[in-house]
Amino acid sequence: MKKYDIRERALDFAVRSAKLTNKMLQSRAAIEYGKQLIRASASIGANIEEADGTLSRKDFINKMAIGRREARESRYWLHLIERVGLINDPKDKAELSWLRRESEEILLILSSIINKTRAKSDK
């Protein structure tokens, strides 16, 4: 069953990203790319949480935009991990594919939230 709460989806994405990094082949690249993925994926949800505590629409949009940038960055690291071949197990490859798709969906959801908030601000 798909989760529709962006906070829960962002949290789940960060957890699953971190777990995937534990399954990567051990190499210098895996360590560095894994660290970057963990930071970027965790930052998505952190910025969504910060956005909910803002006092202005402008600050809300800014925090959501940072979350969107982190989703883009996560997508990049996942793509790089795949291209370098740091995941070998078929189950882990399936998880990597799921994470890549989820990063795209989170990016689209955050873009929609930003656009709708901007439209409200323009009225």
Using CA atoms, how far apart are residues 77 and 83, in angstroms rounded to an integer? 10
**Would residue 1 count as lying in a domain?**
no
- What pLDDT is attached to residue 3? 52
**Would residue 22 count as lying in a domain?**
yes
Instruction: Report the candidate in 65, 21, 60 with the shortest Cα–Cα distance to residue 44.
Output: 65
**Would residue 67 count as lying in a domain?**
yes
**Would residue 43 count as lying in a domain?**
yes
- What pLDDT is attached to residue 1? 43
Q: What is the CATH number of the domain that holds 27?
A: 1.20.1440.60
**Would residue 38 count as lying in a domain?**
yes
**Would residue 44 count as lying in a domain?**
yes
Q: For each of the chain's 123 residues, which pLDDT tens digit applies? A: 455 699 999 999 999 999 999 999 999 999 999 999 999 999 999 999 999 999 999 999 999 999 999 999 999 999 999 999 999 999 999 999 999 999 999 999 999 999 999 998 776
Q: What separation in angstroms does the CA of 122 have from each of 31, 75, 98, 114, 118? A: 45, 31, 36, 12, 6
Determine the structural domain holding residue 32 and report its residue range.
6-122
- How many CB atoms are closer than 10 A to CB 26? 9
30 close to 24: Cβ distance less than 8 angstroms:
yes
Could you tell me the two tokens for 103?
């990063």
Q: How many domains does the chain have?
A: 1
**Would residue 91 count as lying in a domain?**
yes
